[in-house]
Amino acid sequence: MNYSIIRYIIGWVLVLEAIFMLMPCLVALIYQEKSGVAFITTAAICAVIGLLMIGKKPKNKNYYAREGFVIVSLSWIVMGLFGALPFVLSGEIPSYVDALFEIVSGFTTTGASILNDVEALSHACLFWRSFSHWIGGMGVFVFLLIVLPLTGGSNMHLMRAESPGPSVGKLVPKVRETAKILYLIYIVMTIIEMIILLVGGMPVFDAITLSFGTAGTGGFGIKNSSIADYSVFCQAVITVFMILFGVNFNFYYYLLGKNKGNAFKMEEVRWYFIIILASIGLITFNIRGQFESLPMAFHHAAFQVGSVITTTGYATSDFNLWPQMSKTILVLIMFIGACAGSTGGGIKVSRILIMFKTIGQEIKTLIHPRSVHTMKLDDKAVDKSVVRGVGAFLMTYAVIFCASLLLITLDGKDLVTNFTAVTATINNIGPGLMDVGPTGNFAGFSVLSKCVFIFNMLAGRLELYPVLLLFTPAVWRKN
């Protein structure tokens, strides 16, 4: 294990976080809020510690898969530990565990909250919550690879540890160029959404923060009613962009480049839209009697399906009150999640596709034992290691899910609340059902349960293994 490179890169992450914190400082200055002092203090602490850590450059700059996973996991934990400080120092979230829950929920783009009154927060804290979604959406290391040209080892190990999906590939030969392309698409789409929301009459602060939440598929609102108080036009815009940010970003790269045909070969994207359309259709039919017209039922169904499958977590109505069929569909697509290579969470559509294709292959093998079948995705053969990895991921996912569910039952809450709370955190969604529904929050859980949820949010965002490796003694042994 190359400890010096771990220390060095985590130092840069802290410096980067200090720079990010200057944004809410500016917001506090604009709105003349005292909370800005908490942010400038925390930024100074991050900068000093970070600069001390990068002061001595490592002699050995090589880092491989093991270091890559450890660096990413520890960096996300460190970002959360320091990112929670402004909430505590400002007194707006006095409990450090609650503040940690809130900011980890932000960075991991979960959107689950412990706040009973969101509107009581200062503009600076509201901005930091939403901005943390935008930072975590594409990934801090994707950004770091742009501004910090790291040498030695393979930068792909950092992207692989942080990027969602069963496999991570490069759009162009150089990893740094790939990172630039991804972030350029991300920034442009975010700005376009902001502009359209402003044209639709949304206030500037609201348009910026809600665009951050949509882009990162996070879901922190700045109003207690989430998105319900905004116009139908603004809700429709957010619906469209939630779904767009849930698409594999490779699709946009191919669509904008010379190889447009590759975009339409992406089987995952096709099934992503099929699942969305089917879910909207079924839920619209199921809730048609709860709204004044069929178009409004479609509008709310589309918004909620887009919000849940992309794991954004915004809400325009309390789907806790919807019929059982609609709630069941929403819970099912909570598990499916968005596409790999997007800012969304969940198991990912590509893994679900591979799982069903594996089942199909097994059935064919039973019928024709001597036949040889090749699994394909996007007209390309799927490597057996990827299939094996998907199976291992789903098993690990199930073990963590069950263990988490068992631990939080100590709080004595009902099964639906507990089940959907774990579902909402490990899939980085935000709201669940019953006590943690769109009008509820996670404040009523114990410190132990909140710590379980914090672990789940981090594990879900980093695809389980990077976080689990921290608890493996063999990882920490020197080479």
pLDDT at 162: 56
pLDDT at 168: 47
**Phi/psi class of residue 379: alpha, beta or left (left: φ > 0; alpha: ψ in -120 to 50)?**
left
Mean pLDDT value of segment 42-66: 85
At 334-345, the pLDDT tens digits run 999 999 888 888
At 309-335, the pLDDT tens digits run 999 989 999 999 999 999 999 999 999
Residue 235 banded pLDDT, cuts 50, 70, 90: very high
pLDDT above 50 (res 230): yes
pLDDT at 479: 59
What letter represents residue 200's amino acid?
A: G
pLDDT above 90 (res 138): no
pLDDT at 173: 52
Direct distance between the N- and C-terminal alpha carbons of the chain, in angstroms, rounded to an integer = 6
At 339-382, the pLDDT tens digits run 988 888 889 998 999 999 999 888 988 888 877 778 888 778 88
Q: What does pTM read for this prediction?
A: 0.91
Which one of 12-16, 219-223, 261-265, 450-454 scores highest in mean pLDDT?
450-454
The alpha carbon of residue 116 and the mean position of all alpha carbons in its chain are separated, in whole angstroms, by 22
Please tell me the distance from the alpha carbon of residue 276 to that of residue 302, in angstroms, as a whole number: 8
pLDDT above 50 (res 153): no
pLDDT at 152: 45
SS3 letters across the chain: CCHHHHHHHHHHHHHHHHHHCHHHHHHHHHCCCCCHHHHHHHHHHHHHHHHHHHCCCCCCCCCCHHHHHHHHHHHHHHHHHHHCHHHHHCCCCCCHHHHHHHHHHHHCCCCCCCCCCHHHCCHHHHHHHHHHHHHHHHCHHHHHHHHCCCCCCCCHHHHHHHCCCCCCCCCCCCHHHHHHHHHHHHHHHHHHHHHHHHHCCCCHHHHHHHHHHHHCCCCCCCCCCCCCCCCHHHHHHHHHHHHHHCCCHHHHHHHHCCCHHHHHCCHHHHHHHHHHHHHHHHHHHHHHHHCCCHHHHHHHHHHHHHHHHCCCCCCCCCHHHCCHHHHHHHHHHHHHCCCCCCCCCCCCHHHHHHHHHHHHHHHHHHHCCCCCCCCEECCEECCHHHHHHHHHHHHHHHHHHHHHHHHHHHHCCCHHHHHHHHHHHHCCCCCCCHHHCCCCCCCCCCHHHHHHHHHHHHHHHCCCHHHHHCCCHHHHCCC
Residue 475 banded pLDDT, cuts 50, 70, 90: confident
